[in-house]
Amino acid sequence: MSGRLVGVGVGPGDPELLTVKGLRVLREADEIFVPVADTGEVGRAEATVREYLEEGRIRRLLFALSDDTEARERNWTNAARKVSEHLQSGRTCAFATIGDPNVYSTFTYLARTVRELEPDVEVETVPGITALQDLASRSGTVLLEGDERLALLPFTAGEEPLRDALAGFETVVCYKGGSRLAEVLRVAEGGGRLEGAVYGARLGIEGEEIVSAQEMIGREGTYLSTVIFTRRSSELG
Ligand SMILES: C[S@@+](CC[C@H](N)C(=O)[O-])C[C@H]1O[C@@H](n2cnc3c(N)ncnc32)[C@H](O)[C@@H]1O
């Protein structure tokens, strides 16, 4: 008897951005899992869930952030095994993840590995508010109008995809720029897209920063940071 695995998006950081449905699904789940990085630091998903549920109900799954593919795969397999133990007895397991569970989320890897172990498991997701939506809202940035198009990409894909996106789309959102923020800004400047761009770091979390991307020239970015490039100038400031 295979249970149900639900990926619940808990928003980018501000606990108020967890949806009513997300909270209900977490409350009703038999088991609640959260990802924790190998740094041991309390993750963002866990911090959000802890605002509403007792700590004792939350189980941590270790996911490596390292570039070591083998270490990452080992962690996914171990995590999937732990979840599968509960699914085998027909339980409902919720996995809380930052932002949306279908956007660059550890949930995708977890669900894929769990399905290999438990082919009959039911997998569902509850959408969450993404960092890009939060940054647009907080910075007063209109993302799209009329026929405009949006490109979302991680800077880990490299400079070329960002250059192409900036040349071809009215709105471009760059995730995972982090430590390579200087390169992101240089590519944008080269494409004449720096004006009006906004940078948001640690949205909804202590140390949050929302500034124009131009202000970040010469400064370091952090892993939890997002840049939005638009054709219009943002209403920021
Ligand atoms: C692994 S992806 C997770 C995306 C997430 N599932 C979503 O739907 O937004 C991590 C990237 O999301 C962005 N991000 C997530 N949370 C953020 C936050 N609180 N503040 C700024 N950027 C954030 C950053 O670009 C970060 O590098």
- Both tokens of 42, joined, read 């309390």
14 has a pLDDT exceeding 50: yes
Ligand 1 center to 86 CA (angstroms) = 29
Whole-structure pTM value: 0.94
Q: Which residue's alpha carbon is at the smallest distance from atom 12 of ligand 1? A: 175
Give yes or no for residue 11 CB within 6 A of ligand 1.
no
Q: Which superfamily is assigned to 131-229 in CATH?
A: Tetrapyrrole methylase, C-terminal domain (3.30.950.10)
DSSP state of 233: P
Q: Compute the distance between CA of residue 213 and CA of residue 209 in angstroms, rounded to an integer.
A: 11
Looking up tokens 């590519």 gives 187
Q: Answer yes or no: CATH 3.20.80.10 is held by domain 4-126.
A: no
What pLDDT sits at residue 41?
A: 60
Distance CA(1)–CA(119), nearest Å, equals 11
pLDDT of 236 reads: 40
**Tens digit of pLDDT for each residue in 195-231?**
999 999 999 999 999 999 999 999 999 989 999 999 8
Confirm if 124 and 4 have CB atoms less than 8 A apart: yes
Q: Where are the domains of the chain?
A: 4-126, 131-229
175 lines ligand 1 (CB under 6 A): yes
Q: What is the pLDDT of residue 72?
A: 81
Residues 229 and 171: beta-carbon distance below 8 Å: yes
pLDDT tens digits for 17-34? 999 999 999 999 999 999
Across-strand partners of 18? none
Question: Tens digit of pLDDT for each residue in 76-105?
Answer: 899 999 999 999 999 999 999 999 999 999
205 in ligand 1 pocket by Cβ < 6 Å? yes
Q: In 3D, which of 144, 217, 208, 215 has the Cα closest to residue 184? A: 217
